[in-house]
Structure formats: C-alpha cells, structure tokens
Amino acid sequence: MFTVLSFMFAGIAIGYLLRNKKIRFIHWVITTLIWLLLFLLGLEVGANETIVRQFGKLGFEAFLLAGGATLGSVVFAWILWLAVRNKTVKA
C-alpha cells in the first residue's frame, strides 16, 4: 500500500532536484495516466456483474456521502467566516 506513496515522494525529490529545469510536459503525462486509469476502472466495474447489478444503489450511497461531506464543510467554513468577521468588526 505504501509503495504508491513512496513513488510520490521519489517524484517530489526528483522534481525538486530538477527545479531549475521546468518539466512542462508533466501535466500532460498526469492527465493521460488519469484517463487510462479511469478507463481501466470502468472496464473493471463493467466486467463485474455484481456491481453492474447494484449500480443504482451504489450511486445513491455515493450521493448521500457527497451530500454529507459538502454540507459538513459548508457549515464549518461558515463558522470560520463568522469568527473572522466578528474579529474584523471589533478591530
């Protein structure tokens, strides 16, 4: 599992060592790899009959999780907003 993270750290180190030499094509590489991986994810999901059969149920669970995550962070951002604004008004 941590193999993946060590690859990232190796990348950070190499990117930092080469910081005087702009590696412009890296964003193109990232985008292409992401496309390839999502294609493979789709392939894996599609070939898995159990998941295809409950796709609607998975979508519903995903929607609930997205709603909870978004609402929670909006409320917490609101708390920071009110705290900072009150301080600014007092000052």
Partner 1 sequence: MKGSLIILSFFATGLLLGIFRWLPAEILHLNFSFYVLCALMFAVGISIGNDPNSLRQFRSLNPRFIFLPLMTVAGTFLGVVAVSFFLKNRSMTDCLSVGAGFGYYSLSSILITQYKGVELGTIALLSNIFREVITLLLAPWMVKYFGKLSPISAGGATTMDTTFPVIVRNSGKDYSILSIYHGLVMDLSVPFFVTFFCSL
Residues 13-32 that bind partner 1 (CB under 8 A): 13-19, 22-23, 26-27, 29-30
Q: What's the min distance (Å) between Cβ of 48 and partner 1?
A: 6
Binding letters toward partner 1, positions 50-79, x by CB under 8 A: xxx--x--xx-xxxxxxxxxxxxxxxxxxx
With the C-alpha atoms ordered 68, 71, 74, 75, is the resulting torsion angle positive or negative? negative
3 interacts with partner 1 by CB under 8 A: yes
Q: Of the candidates 29, 34, 38, 36, which has an alpha carbon nearest to the alpha carbon of residue 11? A: 29
Binding of residue 47 to partner 1 (CB under 8 A): yes
The DSSP 8-state label assigned to residue 21 in this structure reads S
Name the residue with tokens 């059969």.
53
